[in-house]
């Protein structure tokens, strides 16, 4: 699970299973989303983001779902809901959030990471996945355990992201229309690299709709398990965190 973002002044949209949301009074379809099989709330129930799924802040001014299933979200108490100010920025994850292709891109990335660790790092099979489970990403695990230096870092990033995205991501007019209906500033916040996210957005035909891309390098290689990653992203986007 990712860490809970630290501020209600912005909205974080990750791998949401919601089929339709309401933002700024507009009902917006979210393309190709699948409901979670276990967790569910009543239809139209407002939800509050606590993990790496999308949810809402206020039933009147922000997100509410008309889908019946929500993953990793909890209903916020009404007194809390009404005390939270409307968001000023919306952050979107990139991979398997802005596009859906049955995890084909994720599988290719995982295969490349495993390949690099086996052939270049001489790791035993499966160790890359163990690092991912322990540290949030394989890269962070290698950094924390002193296995990755700067020269090898660039080689690793280039190798792992050298995948044929054009075979699995294509222009999505429905997604573009939905994003255009959101008038708040929009940023992409990704655990991947900026060049990779840029390629994805270009293929989707939505690169021009975002203020910028905040990648893992921009937040000092922190993973989304670390709340400081969100604070750094907010700082880059010019979001002022309200005192708790």
The structure tokens 């995948």 sit at 163
CB 66 within 8 A of CB 20: yes
pLDDT digits (tens, 9 = 90+) for 75-96: 334 444 445 567 889 999 999 9
Higher pLDDT, 114 or 77: 114
pLDDT exceeds cutoff 90 at 34: no
Residue 126 has pLDDT above 90, yes or no: yes
* Poorest-pLDDT segment among 23-32, 68-77, 129-138: 68-77
User: Which two three-digit tokens encode residue 66?
Assistant: 């008309």
Dump pLDDT digits (tens) for 190-203: 999 999 999 999 99
Structure tokens at 235: 């700082």
pLDDT the model gives residue 102: 87
pLDDT at 116: 97
Q: For residue 199, what are its two tokens?
A: 């390629």
Q: How confident is the model at residue 150 (pLDDT cuts 50, 70, 90)?
A: confident
pLDDT score recorded for residue 27: 45
| Average of per-residue pLDDT across 116-132 | 95
What does the alpha-carbon distance between residue 25 and residue 63 come to, in Å, rounded to a whole number? 9
Which pLDDT band holds residue 2 (cuts at 50, 70, 90)?
low
pTM to 2 decimal places: 0.70
**Three-class secondary structure assignment of the chain:** CCCCCCCCCEEEECCCCCCEEEECCEEEECCCCCCCCCCECCCCCCCEECCCCCCCCCCCCCCCECCCECCCEECCCHHHHHHCCCCCEEEECCCCCCCCCCCHHHHHHHHHHHHHHHHCCCCCCCHHHHHHHHHCCHHHHHHHCCCCCHHHHHHHHHHHCCCCHHHCCCCCHHHHHHHHCCCCCEEEECCCCHHHHHHHHHHHCCHHHCCEEECCCCCCCCCCCCHHHHHHHHHHCCCCCCCC
Phi, psi of 188 (to 5 degrees): -100, 130
The answer, yes or no, to whether residue 35 has pLDDT greater than 60, is: no
Mean per-residue pLDDT, 220-230: 92
The Cα diameter of the chain in Å comes to 55
How far is residue 16 CA from its own chain's centroid? 9
On average, the pLDDT of the chain sits at 74
Residue 207 has pLDDT above 60, yes or no: yes
User: What are the tens digits of pLDDT across the range 65-74?
Assistant: 332 222 333 3
Residue 171, pLDDT score: 96
Rounded CA separation 77/58 (Å): 10
Under the banding of pLDDT at 50, 70 and 90, the label for residue 9 is: low
């Amino acid at each position: 699970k990712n860490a809970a973002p630290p501020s209600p002044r912005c909205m974080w949209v990750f791998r949401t299973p919601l089929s339709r949301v309401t933002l700024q009074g507009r009902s917006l379809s979210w393309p190709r989303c699948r409901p979670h099989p276990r967790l569910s709330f009543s239809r139209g129930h407002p939800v509050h983001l606590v993990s790496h799924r999308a949810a809402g802040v206020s039933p009147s001014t922000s997100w509410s779902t008309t889908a019946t299933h929500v993953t990793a979200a909890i209903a916020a108490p009404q007194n809390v809901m009404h005390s939270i100010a409307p968001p000023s920025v919306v952050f979107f994850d990139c991979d398997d959030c802005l596009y859906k292709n049955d995890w084909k891109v994720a599988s290719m990335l995982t295969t490349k990471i495993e390949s690099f660790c086996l052939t270049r790092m001489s790791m035993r099979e499966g160790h890359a996945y163990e690092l991912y489970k322990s540290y949030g990403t394989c890269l962070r695990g290698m950094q924390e355990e002193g296995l990755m230096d700067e020269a090898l870092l660039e080689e690793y990033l280039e190798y792992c992201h050298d995948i044929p995205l054009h075979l699995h991501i294509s222009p999505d007019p429905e997604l573009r229309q939905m994003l255009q209906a959101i008038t708040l500033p929009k940023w992409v916040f990704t655990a991947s690299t900026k060049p990779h996210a840029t390629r994805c957005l270009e293929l989707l035909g939505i690169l021009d709709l975002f203020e910028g891309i905040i990648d893992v390098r921009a937040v000092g290689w922190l993973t989304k398990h670390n709340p400081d990653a969100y604070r750094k992203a907010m700082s880059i986007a010019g979001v002022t965190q309200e005192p708790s």
